Amino acid sequence: MPQKCKKVVITGVPGVGKTTVINGSMEALKELGVPYTSINFGTCMFEVACDQNLVSDRDEMRKLDQDVQRNLQKTAAQVIAKIQDNVIIDTHCTVSTPSGFLPGLPAWVLEELKPDIVVLVESNEDQILKRRLSDTTRTRDVEGYQSIKDHQNYNRYMAAAYSMLTGCTVKSIKNQDFLLENAINEMVTLLK
Ligand code: AMP
Ligand code: MG
């Protein structure tokens, strides 16, 4: 019987380094001969948002009207659901918007994606703060230590909700300064 494709959702607050962990893990998985397709949810949304002339920068999307964000989200989920492969989805448990935390995986997105695992990439708040300040390629929100801590906590609650709704497992992986290899090894062990 053909094996079922694995759907792994990888989340983490902006600046935690989830894309870096994903890229390193993809390389290691390739070397092990374990095929995965990696897709960035925000990029899928951004392509649609650009076509509709809604934004010119991906960091503007979380400031859009709530309904507009939800429509972009739904379209991206439908595109990603069509991938017939083991898939890593780089996204967010919640997105910090001017009107509060927007769930990255509301019920209709979960129904499309049917994830097997939700990974929370986490780190110390002071390290995240430093990474955001040194990243000149993005327009990261300027937040304090407590606000980043609250966001990471809230993401855990949301991951628990996603798990209850779908039966997926939830795994926390720490991405600490100078220990990127540990995070990659943990991710590869989980996905291979
Ligand atoms: P990223 O590059 O992962 O920081 O994503 C860029 C932007 O895409 C985020 O700031 C959000 O506006 C949007 N985004 C990514 N994933 C989701 C999601 N699951 N639901 C809603 N918006 C998302
Ligand atoms: Mg990223």
Task: Spell out the domain ranges in the chain.
Answer: 7-37+85-191
Q: Which of 13, 23, 91 to mutate to test the pocket of ligand 1 (most atoms within 8 A of CB)?
A: 91
* pTM, 2 dp: 0.96
13-33 pLDDT per residue, tens: 999 999 999 999 999 999 999
The CA distance from 110 to 179, in Å, is 31
Residue 141 Cα, ligand 2 centroid: separation in angstroms?
14
Domain 7-37+85-191, CATH among 3.40.50.300, 3.40.50.10800, 3.30.470.30, 3.40.50.150: 3.40.50.300
pLDDT at 78: 97
pLDDT at 1: 55
Ligand nearest to the CA of 18: 2
The residue among 12, 95, 153, 97 whose CA lies nearest residue 105 is 95
SS3 content of the chain, % helix, strand, coil (to 5): 50, 15, 30
Ligand 1 nearest-atom number relative to CA 77:
19
- List the 87-90 sheet strands across, edge first: 37-40, 87-90, 7-11, 117-122, 169-174
Q: Ligand 1 in contact with 76 (CB < 6 A)?
A: no
Q: Ligand 1 in contact with 91 (CB < 6 A)?
A: yes
The residue among 113, 93, 111, 112 whose CA lies nearest residue 103 is 93
